[in-house]
Amino acid sequence: MPELIEKFSFYLEFPFVRYAIIVGVLVSLCSSLLGVTLVLKRYSYIGDGLSHVAFGALAIASVLKLTNNMLLILPVTVAVAVLLLCTGKNARIKGDAAIAMVSVGALAIGYLLMNIFSTSANISGDVCTTLFGSTSILTLKVGEVYLCIALSCIVLLTFVLFYHKIFAITFDENFARATGVNTTIFNLMIAVIVAVIIVLAMNLVGALLVSALVVFPALSAMRVFKSFFSVTVAAASISVACSLIGIVIAILAGTPVGSTIVAADIAVFGLCYLTSLVRDKRG
Amino acid sequence: MNEKKTLIKCRQLALGYGSKDIVRDLDYDINVGDYLCIVGRNGSGKTTFLRGLAGLLSPKAGSIELCDGLQRNEIGFLPQMTVVQKDFPASVEEIVLSAFQGKFRLLPFYRRAQRERAMECMALTRTESLAKSCFRELSGGQKQRVLLARALCAAERLLLLDEPVTGLDPESTETMYHIIEELHKKGMTIIMVTHDIDTALNDANRVMDFNDISVKGK
């Protein structure tokens, strides 16, 4: 054990490890907060769809050789999120079908573009990195870290300020609208925030595993806790704890960061599920 | 009976979705203190009309005029329960308090007066003992009473109820009707969509039959 701690504190002296931990904590905090709303609104799969869109946008950005690919990825993902979440009931193509379509479409086009216009010798390695985020969290630049901190703060602040509004809209959009809450604006706001989080989370766990960050902490918390407030707080704590544990294990054991974090999330979900089973038996 | 004041005036009203009109050429007045039951078969436009009154649907033609100084945020609305709500992890208190979101636009917390009002409304619907309970663990009747308490918090003068007793057992139905009747006696104007013709004729002082109206509309 002391060797492990020594090894860990040795690693902590590297700035890239500190960056990874800062970004990991912030991203998992933000994604779990919004995750509760998305799961309850039956939009769990939106994270997955949007991350594929972000992957497609990333492919386009690398084909265009943009120096700062965020400039393209963020607007594209936000636009698609708004389209998917806000057209809602009036759309010709219904919610889940639209998400499925956009999701695989973006994935296919992204991979195609990367193959045709590739500049790198190791395409499958590049694609694998983007999809599973195997190393991207450990290669963050200072600029990206600051951007991540700034965006996370905006997301957190918005969530805290509009917490009760978000609850009202999640629980009953019709009622909220009837009592004078401007649901269109808040749905738009939620869509934008979700897109920002997805793009940030792609660095952490990669495009394919983003939904795990959104869905697992929320589902774990909902198994055990009974009020919206406690579910939100618990989801946030679970998510941050799992990310920290995941990053530490990944660094010490040399496993891929993204999948280690998700594995930790799955383990906690299992624990919460068992807890609720035992409690139901007793009650 | 003394002359009653009009609360809502519908003139030449047409409501519908897309290009389809569900309610057409409707002229109707609702008075202060009415207990109005809306009956009619499925698809006849009862719920559409109620959504129009709640401001969820804007008229395609004609008008819905709020009279006697009635404000949009003085109307309480009890929609039909959705699948999402039946399994929602929230405490009763959180749900009832969410009624105030339309009023204090940018306040990130609730005021004491609002908490007290919420407790009053829970007392009126006999749910005050459930304040800390989890919504998804309540019975159907309790859930519906909690949602009624939420509607009451938002309502100063008018309650719109969309099939409040559908799916409830006889005892819960009885309680629900009793609570609504009490609220009516305290001066609340009530508009209720229902399939229960007997209650409509017993409790309500006016009945609006959408079977007739849609025939007339054609």
Distance, in Å, from the CA atom of B31 to the CA atom of B38, rounded to the nearest integer, reads: 15
B16-28: average pLDDT: 82
Angle in degrees, CA B42, B15, A187, rounded to 5:
95
Nearest to B134 among A167, A172, A226 (CB): A226
Instruction: Scan for tokens 């918390």, then name that residue.
Output: A221
- The answer to whether ipTM exceeds 0.85 is yes
Please indicate, yes or no, if residue B82 is contained in any of the structural domains: yes
Report the residue of A159, A172, A220 to disrupt the B interface, i.e. the one with the largest count of B CBs within 10 Å.
Answer: A172
* 3-state SS, residue A233: helix
Domain that holds residue A182: 2-277
Q: Is the pLDDT of residue B106 over 70?
A: no
Please indicate, yes or no, if residue A283 is contained in any of the structural domains: no
* Confidence label for A41 from pLDDT (cuts 50, 70 and 90): confident
Please indicate, yes or no, if residue A152 is contained in any of the structural domains: yes
Distance, in Å, from the CA atom of B149 to the CA atom of B129, rounded to the nearest integer, reads: 13
Give pLDDT, residue B211: 80
Chain B residues with CB-CB distance to A172 below 8 A:
79, 82, 85, 98
Task: Phi first, then psi: give them for residue B150, nearest 5 degrees.
Answer: -65, -45
pLDDT tens across B147-185, in order? 999 999 988 789 999 999 888 889 999 999 999 999 999
% of chain B with per-residue pLDDT over 90: 30
Give pLDDT, residue A92: 55
Please indicate, yes or no, if residue A244 is contained in any of the structural domains: yes
B24-50: average pLDDT: 87
Q: Is B72 on the interface with A (CB under 8 A)?
A: yes
**CATH number of the structural domain spanning residue A74:** 1.10.3470.10
Where is average pLDDT lowest: A107-111, A131-135, B212-216? B212-216
Give pLDDT, residue B107: 67
Asked if B73 and A180 come within 8 Å (Cβ–Cβ), the reply is yes
Q: In this structure, how many other beta carbons lie within 10 angstroms of the beta carbon of residue B170?
A: 8
**CATH number of the structural domain spanning residue B42:** 3.40.50.300
Structural domain total, chain A? 1
* Nearest chain B residue (CA) to A229: B90
Chain A residues with CB-CB distance to B89 below 8 A:
40, 222, 225-228, 231
Alpha helices in chain B (DSSP H): 46-54, 83-86, 92-97, 112-124, 140-154, 170-185, 197-203, 210-217
**One-letter amino acid of A174:** N
Domain that holds residue B189: 34-56+70-204
- Under a CB-based contact definition with an 8 Å cutoff, are residues B64 and B29 in contact? no
